[in-house]
Amino acid sequence: MKEARYHEAGHAVAAHHNGYTINSITATAEEWRTNWSQPVFIGPADAWREACVTLAGQLADDVAAWGEMRPEPWEEYLGEAEEQREFVEEGHEDVRGDHLWLLEHLGEMVAYHSWGDSLEACYREVVEDARRLLAEYWSEVEVVARALEPTGTLEGAGFMRAVQEGATRVVESGLGA
Ligand SMILES: [Zn+2]
């Protein structure tokens, strides 16, 4: 379940750095889930933030699986998202995953016209922004993923301790320790 731990750690660290409060994280064989509360934002940045937090899970588990972030090419991503949407429209809500959540956030971004007029342009923007965010805070993702190892779960306080430990590590290595 290494990929689940990195996936949820990616969502949680990205959400934390976007001002959300992490309540709990679960990364087990049965359940992949990060529970957060978010402040009420108003305006286009809200859709963009949600999109980045959504994509961060997949990018983080790419690193666990491949050793690097491998965002899907647009066509491939869209194909999977549209497939999920068809199932959900037929009443299979359980098929809904990050691909479809992201597509809905991209739709909101397009409606605001702040990132260009196409879903693809918005997707590219989100890929770059989520990648940059995770790269900047990667040591935190590592520590959070490791903290999930024993039980597959972490409460908010445990998450914050892991994030602080990860952040300290960067400062130490920045000093050449
Ligand atoms: Zn996810």
Ligand 1 midpoint to CA 42 (Å)? 24
Ligand 1 midpoint to CA 5 (Å)? 10
Q: How many domains does the chain have?
A: 1
Ligand 1 midpoint to CA 10 (Å)? 8
CATH number, domain of 23, equals: 1.20.58.760
Cβ burial of 165 (10 Å; 0-12, 13-18, 19+) is middle
pTM for the structure as a whole = 0.91
* 144 within 8 A of 138, measured Cβ to Cβ: no
Ligand 1 midpoint to CA 169 (Å)? 26
- Give pLDDT tens digits along the chain (177 positions): 899 999 999 999 999 999 999 999 999 999 999 999 988 776 788 999 999 999 999 999 999 999 999 999 999 999 999 999 999 999 999 999 999 999 999 999 999 877 778 999 999 999 999 999 999 999 999 999 999 999 999 999 999 999 999 988 866 655 443
Domain that holds residue 87: 2-174
